[in-house]
Chains A and B, each alone.
Chain A
């Protein structure tokens, strides 16, 4: 692993982490606001997080 690769991987992790963190945070807020819709919010959250994760992994393997 070369230095640019490592830096790139780090950037990807930061980006994906921020993205997933934001999704999680927003989902928490949404659940707090509407606890009765928590099931739907959770599903949507997992899907969104999974999509970001997928892109993140793809980039990570490219790096």
Chain B
């Protein structure tokens, strides 16, 4: 301990203190401040860049989601349009079928009606002809056999019975 105190050099202590404090102050001004500032700036720059990249990524994701949504919407719209068209088609076909059926039915009905009326008119004509024929026959018979009144009546009766059976 004595040796240490003896060895202590005031001059060296003085110079060391002076030079070191000067060194700290000078280095702070010319070296440490600029160095640490630049390093900090660089670090914050890197951080900002990373943040920006992250933001861009998020934005990208948002855009993609938007796209997806739009696409889905379009798809849904197409789907509904197709469905509508299909329904329309089915309806049109069904309508057309119904129309045709109705028309056909009507035509058949008309045809049937026509046939009926023809048949009726034919029957009427036939009846007329049969009557005239019977009249003619009757005339002839009358002309031929009007000798006996009883015989004539018998003949007309039998002939009418035959005609009615037709």
Contacts and interface: CB of A to CB of B under 8 A. Distances in A.
Interface string B1-28: 1001000000000000000000000000
A61 B5 CA distance: 11
A46 to B, nearest CB: 24
A41 B4 CA distance: 35
Contacts of B1: 61-62
Size class of the contact patch on chain B: under 10
A61 B4 CA distance: 9
Give the dominant DSSP class at A's interface: helix
Contacts of A62: 1
B160 to A, nearest CB: 133
B6 to A, nearest CB: 13
Nearest to B2: A61
A61 B1 CA distance: 5
Contacts of A61: 1, 4
Interface in A42-63: 61-62
B48 to A, nearest CB: 28
A20 B4 CA distance: 25
B1 to A, nearest CB: 5
B96 to A, nearest CB: 82
A61 B2 CA distance: 9
A62 B1 CA distance: 6
Nearest to B1: A61
Nearest to A63: B1
Interface string A16-43: 0000000000000000000000000000
A62 B2 CA distance: 9
A62 B3 CA distance: 11
Contacts of B4: 61
Nearest to A62: B1
Nearest to B3: A61
A62 B4 CA distance: 11
A2 to B, nearest CB: 13
Interface of A: 61-62
3 contacts: A61-B1, A61-B4, A62-B1
What 3 A-B pairs come out closest when comparing CB atoms? Answer: A61-B1, A62-B1, A61-B4
